[in-house]
Amino acid sequence: MIKNPFRNRTRATLAIIGIAIGIATIVALGMVTGGLQSSTQSTLKAGSAEITVTKIGSGNFGSSGGVLDESLVTDLKNTNGVKDTAGILRVNSNVSTSSGGSGFGSMGGFLVNGIDSSKLALVGIDSVNGTIFTNGSSNEIIIGKTVAQNLNKTVGSTIDIYGTEFEVTGIFESGNFIYDTGAFTSLSTLQNLTNNTGKVSYIQVKVNDNANASQVSKTIQDERPNDLSATTAVDQANRINQSLGMIDTASWAISLLAIVIGGVGVINTMIMSVFERTREIGVLKAVGWKDRRILGMILGESIILTLVAAVVGIILGIVAVEIIFKLFITSQSFEAVLTMDTLLKAFGVALLVGIVGGLYPAYRASRLAPTEALRYE
Amino acid sequence: MTEENVIEIHNLQKTYDKGKIKALNGIDLEIKKGEFISIMGPSGSGKSTLLNMIGALDRAEEGTIKVAGIDLMKTRDLSEFRSQEIGFVFQMHNLVPNLSVLENVEIPMYETRVKSEEMRRRALELLEAVGLKDKADKNPTKLSGGERQRVAIARALVNHPSIILADEPTGALDSKTGDVILNLLKSLHSKEQVTLVMVTHEPYVAEMADRILHVLDGKINNSS
Ligand SMILES: Nc1ncnc2c1ncn2[C@@H]1O[C@H](COP(=O)(O)OP(=O)(O)O)[C@@H](O)[C@H]1O
Ligand SMILES: [Mg+2]
């Protein structure tokens, strides 16, 4: 019985391809949403700073130029409601690929952050495998676990940054994707090395336990409206959540489209199949099969068809996302994540298409008059 | 209804195309348990329609029909009756092409409470009786016409029915193969003590039966 939906190869294949494309889109969008979700969740880690201050007009994390004066780090600390601040200088390592990295280095290196070693908690790093770098010009560095994996580095290895050898003293896992694909070293060392003495790219601000982050952020912003831009992690998360919401809506719209188009394809496939098997259905009725069993048989075949399409679509979606990420998105942004939710949704949509598309043909088959069916050659 | 009549039909009428075609025009018929009846008559005279009425594949408009003690005019769901009391053998296209020979014999048991091992055992037993046990796992499309009819006969018997309805079972076979099928039907009829109603065009085939019925224009012609 299982083989029945595939008796007409071409028709079954066409129906499967149609539904599979819809499912693949759902899975691909789901993986992107899943990835964005897990990266926002990690930025909201407890203990880390709530507010990011950058030079106005520069990118979110100050990665696109626009440095701030280091004196601001202390100034901001004196703002009402602020518990602690940390200045961070961020540069691209431009590390050479000779170190045997698996293609990671060729993507333009990783981000090196200079920070006061006592402020690491503010960026979500509270434990290090090994030891933390010392402040000053000791040329020590701690690297994120992703960097360690990609560049094949362990504690004690050396890394060449701006022509200077750094010793890896520790490996950390902050849970924040951006940090885990980067490294931290002494602020002053990095400032000297990159001719940025007295400069930082952005400032992380941690507010007092009883203070409202949005309010503090607003205060900072209002004090230097032409100079600084302050965003809270919540703001950022909200912004990302908004785009997540949009992707989610798109995903549901595509699901709906897949249900409609796939449903029509399945109806067509199954009606043709029932039509071709009129005689066979007559025989089944003659041997005593109840209408319900015939309905169940055709409906079951329809569902098998769409579940096969779901499996094909899921594989297609994963492969497509992997390829797109490999080609266009460097590992510094974020990873695609396939969640259980996405898988359930894919199978759910397929099941729905199978039921919706199979119901009418199955009903028709169950209501065939046996004598008519048996006259049919 | 007398004790030994397995089929009792009175004034049965069946029309098609909204009354334009009178397929059965007042059939009166009684068949005893265990009888072997052959039905003859020209094409379009209503033989198949009569068989379909007995097998509860369709309903008549007028008259009464009782088969194996069941009033077919009044019973709502007749699928159980079909599976328990009737075994059909048609002229051709009896088998489901995508199922194995064994599965084809098993399908009438799907609506019963028989367990799957028992289904298999019973189906193999009947395939052995028709000499096709070694073909059990084959696809029916790989079988000859005569072999397919033997599978259909095995299937017709699988639920121990009280009546076998055979509508020109040898009509698509050459006479030699046809004779094998007839002998098989006849021997199973006596062995299983089942009532056998068979439509045929061949007078010598009809002669094998206990009684011959002639159908003409939807009526039974009693002149013979
Ligand atoms: N399902 C049907 N729809 C319309 N007409 C039918 C149907 N079944 C049988 N008939 C008609 O009823 C008459 C009797 O048919 P049938 O019982 O098949 O004859 P036979 O089997 O003796 O050749 C024929 O005129 C046939 O065309
Ligand atoms: Mg006929």
ipTM of the complex: 0.93
Amino acid identity, position A320? A
More confident of the two residues A108 and A246? A246
Is residue A8, in this structure, part of any structural domain at all?
yes
Phi, psi of B43 (to 5 degrees): -65, 135
The predicted model gives A126-151 an average pLDDT of 86
Beta bridge pairs of residue A89:
A114
Same domain (yes/no): A71, A183: yes
The rounded distance, in Å, linking the Cα atoms of A177 and A44 is 12
CA of B83 to the centre of ligand 2 (A): 22
Chain position carrying tokens 């599965």: B103
Mean pLDDT over each residue of chain A, to the nearest integer: 83
Same domain (yes/no): A290, A353: yes
Same domain (yes/no): A34, A64: no
Same domain (yes/no): A66, A214: yes
> Which atom from ligand 1 is nearest to the alpha carbon of B45?
22
Same domain (yes/no): A38, A126: no
Same domain (yes/no): A33, A159: no
Q: Which residue of A has its CA nearest to B165?
A: A286
- The predicted structure's pLDDT at residue A337: 83
Size of interface A-B (CB pairs under 8 A): 64
Is residue A232, in this structure, part of any structural domain at all?
no
Complete domains list, chain B, with CATH: 34-44+78-223 (3.40.50.300)
Our count of domains for chain A comes to 2
B177 burial via Cβ count (<10 Å: 0-12, 13-18, 19+): middle
Instruction: Answer yes or no: is pLDDT of A114 > 50.
Output: yes
Q: Which domain does A17 fall in, by range?
A: 4-42+245-375
CB < 8 Å to A290, chain B: 77, 79-80, 111
Instruction: Answer yes or no: is pLDDT of A60 > 90.
Output: no
* Least confident segment among A155-164, A300-309, B148-157, B209-218: A155-164
Instruction: Answer yes or no: is pLDDT of A61 > 80.
Output: no
CA angle A62, A63, A69 (to 5 degrees): 40
CB < 8 Å to B99, chain A: 1
* Least confident segment among A74-88, A174-188, A358-372: A174-188
Of B22, B117, B107, give the one whose Cα is nearest residue B63. Answer: B22
Same domain (yes/no): A220, A85: yes
- The predicted structure's pLDDT at residue A140: 92
CA angle A228, A230, A234 (to 5 degrees): 170
The predicted model gives B111-137 an average pLDDT of 93
pLDDT tens-digit readout, A249-276: 888 888 888 878 888 889 999 999 999 9
